[in-house]
């Protein structure tokens, strides 16, 4: 334990973010950082409790509680308190290949299950995690560590998102020769195309990719398995194949007027914006521009929030984010949402904070159902029609949405972005290999085993479990690598 009474002596503090009205004028990361002394104080709040739920990584009531990669949080909190940064980095890397990603974009379920949160505010785990890895890079402690010997086995990893990169890193560490295939022109999957630069600057992703290349991993871009290279050809060329292609099939909406000009899928908007920014600083004009437009985002999750933040930086006239769920309570409902479940409480994410600073109010509209889109005589979107709803859970657990009479409303809109989730993986490789799928169309492979019905083919990450968190992707990539290593060698020393 850092100090037995630290959680009573010190208050939870977070590094200040850049001013919202300043940061919407650029595409740079919006976080600021604590000094080492401030971080030491925050580390002192860790209780090193007998059962540290912060790194359990279990699912409770449909949400994750604790860290799915089982970060050794009390250990590196104590090391930071003692000023042992390099040792803290070693403990952090022991369970997490990419803490520079999770320290920035993970929603921190570890903090939701922190024991200090029972009687006060949780330890600032996420900020400390990011500080450890950032200092590791600054000091030159994070260096390539290629394997000393090669096994002669060749493994293909399909998809270069967090699951694919984690699987590749671990398999390479075991001495296998790994090739990662990515259909986009840059490595990183949703880390590169999907998460905006203000949350995760892309040189941070490339920095890690460069290290993996130096360690011996081969990355092949602009190559889609199933089209540019057949799945059967891949099977013939490698001793094992790990599918980490994600759950990229966007869920659509069946709403009158969907075909009007001005209605787009959220990922088309985000991907195009990020690519244009990286390719040319927007000089090529190859993106959907919200400048001067009334924008509606349908979907209350992270993807929808990123659409809000992107539209603000483009200079939209207005932006509103629709969600079908009601406004969360200001404090945790201990009866319906007890610790150590992730706390369902009202918060402002970065983009909502920015919109409120600019327009004076939270941009979210809660418990809203879109009834139809209406266009002008040229087929261009001009407005949406909505109604307020109430959600009821029946005796079977099924969610029912009832419309509330008299709550109809018309919203002006030039652009709509649909961000209502994903339906599962794309089917090309699945069909070519004859893989079994579960009821949600994901590749069928048991958690912890990752084996499919086809010999030497494994599946991990969102392609196996459906749309999820980056920490689950890293967890599954690491575990799948261990199972592949066992398959190839008969046993494994991988964690």
Q: Looking at the 3D structure of the chain, how many domains does it have?
A: 3
Give a yes or no: residue 494 inside a domain.
no
| 374 shares a domain with 260 | yes
Average pLDDT of 102-130?
Answer: 94
| 475 shares a domain with 394 | no
Under the banding of pLDDT at 50, 70 and 90, the label for residue 5 is confident
β-partners of residue 451 are 458
pLDDT at 118 over 90: no
- Cβ atoms 40, 80 nearer than 8 A: yes
- Cβ atoms 485, 451 nearer than 8 A: no
Please state, for a pLDDT cut of 90, what percent of the chain lies above it. 90
| 257 shares a domain with 398 | yes
Give a yes or no: residue 495 inside a domain.
no
pLDDT at 60 over 90: no
* Domain's final residue, options 138, 168, 198: 138
pLDDT at 86 over 60: yes
Higher per-residue confidence, 399 vs 246: 246
| 234 shares a domain with 164 | yes
CATH number, domain with residue 91: 1.10.1060.10
Give a yes or no: residue 52 inside a domain.
yes
pLDDT for 152 equals 98
pLDDT for 485 equals 98
- Cβ atoms 95, 71 nearer than 8 A: yes
Q: Is the N-terminal amide bond of 340 cis, ω within 30° of 0?
A: yes
| 413 shares a domain with 285 | yes
pLDDT for 8 equals 86
* Structural domain boundaries, residue 312: 252-420
CATH number, domain with residue 467: 3.50.50.60
Under the banding of pLDDT at 50, 70 and 90, the label for residue 3 is confident
| 116 shares a domain with 27 | yes
pLDDT for 1 equals 55
Burial of residue 394 (CB within 10 Å: 0-12, 13-18, 19+) is exposed
| 353 shares a domain with 244 | no
| 395 shares a domain with 312 | yes
C-alpha to C-alpha distance for 71 and 319, rounded to whole angstroms? 37
* Domain's final residue, options 138, 172, 201: 138
| 349 shares a domain with 294 | yes
Chain segment 410-419, per-residue pLDDT in tens:
999 999 999 9
- Give the number of other CB atoms < 10 A from CB of residue 29: 17
pLDDT for 119 equals 85
Average pLDDT of 134-144?
Answer: 97
| 172 shares a domain with 59 | no
Give a yes or no: residue 59 inside a domain.
yes
Chain segment 10-19, per-residue pLDDT in tens:
999 999 899 9
Chain segment 7-51, per-residue pLDDT in tens:
889 999 999 899 999 999 999 999 999 999 999 999 999 987 888
pLDDT for 49 equals 86
| 413 shares a domain with 478 | no
| 280 shares a domain with 208 | no
């Amino acid at each position: 334990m850092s100090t037995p009474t630290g959680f009573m002596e010190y208050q939870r503090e977070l590094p200040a973010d850049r001013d919202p009205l300043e940061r919407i004028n650029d595409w740079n990361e919006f976080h600021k950082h604590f000094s080492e002394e401030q971080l030491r104080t925050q580390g002192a709040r860790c209780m090193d409790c007998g059962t540290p739920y912060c790194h359990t990584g279990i699912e409770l009531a449909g949400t994750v509680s604790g860290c799915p990669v089982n970060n050794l949080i009390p250990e590196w909190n104590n090391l930071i308190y003692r000023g042992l940064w390099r040792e803290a980095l070693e403990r952090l890397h022991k369970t997490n290949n990419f803490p520079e990603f999770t320290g920035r974009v993970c929603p921190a379920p570890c903090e939701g299950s922190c024991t200090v949160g029972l009687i006060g505010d949780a330890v600032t785990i996420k900020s400390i995690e990011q500080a450890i890895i950032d200092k590791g890079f600054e000091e030159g402690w994070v260096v390539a560590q290629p394997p000393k010997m090669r096994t002669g086995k060749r493994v293909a990893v399909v998809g270069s998102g967090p699951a694919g990169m984690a699987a590749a890193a671990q398999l390479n560490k075991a001495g296998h020769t790994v090739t990662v295939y990515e259909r986009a022109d840059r490595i990183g999957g949703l880390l590169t195309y999907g998460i905006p630069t203000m949350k995760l600057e892309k040189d941070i992703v490339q920095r890690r990719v460069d290290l993996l290349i130096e360690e011996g991993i081969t990355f092949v871009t602009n190559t889609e398995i199933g089209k540019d290279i057949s799945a059967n050809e891949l099977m013939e060329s490698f001793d094992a194949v790990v599918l980490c292609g994600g759950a990229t099939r966007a869920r659509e909406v069946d709403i009158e007027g969907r075909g009007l000009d001005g209605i787009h899928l959220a990922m088309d908007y985000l991907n195009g914006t990020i690519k244009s920014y990286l390719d040319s600083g927007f000089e090529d004009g190859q993106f959907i521009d919200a400048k001067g437009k009334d924008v509606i985002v349908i979907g209350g999750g992270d993807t929808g929030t990123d659409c809000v933040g992107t539209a603000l930086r483009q200079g939209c006239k207005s932006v509103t984010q629709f969600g079908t769920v009601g406004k969360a309570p200001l404090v945790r409902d201990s009866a319906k949402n007890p610790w150590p479940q992730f706390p369902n409480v009202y918060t402002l994410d970065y983009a909502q904070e920015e919109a409120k600073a600019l327009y004076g109010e939270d941009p979210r509209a809660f418990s809203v159902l879109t009834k139809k889109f209406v266009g002008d005589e040229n087929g261009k979107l001009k407005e949406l029609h909505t109604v307020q709803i109430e959600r009821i859970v029946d005796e079977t657990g099924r969610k029912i949405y009832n419309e509330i009479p008299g709550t109809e409303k018309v919203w002006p809109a030039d652009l709509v972005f649909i961000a209502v989730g994903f339906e599962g993986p794309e089917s090309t490789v699945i069909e070519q290999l004859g893989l079994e799928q579960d009821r949600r169309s994901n590749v069928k492979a048991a958690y912890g085993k990752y084996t499919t019905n086809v010999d030497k083919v494994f599946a991990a990450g969102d392609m196996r479990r459906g749309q999820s968190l980056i920490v689950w992707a890293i967890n599954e990539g690491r575990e799948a690598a261990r199972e592949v290593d066992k398959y190839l060698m008969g046993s494994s020393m991988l964690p």
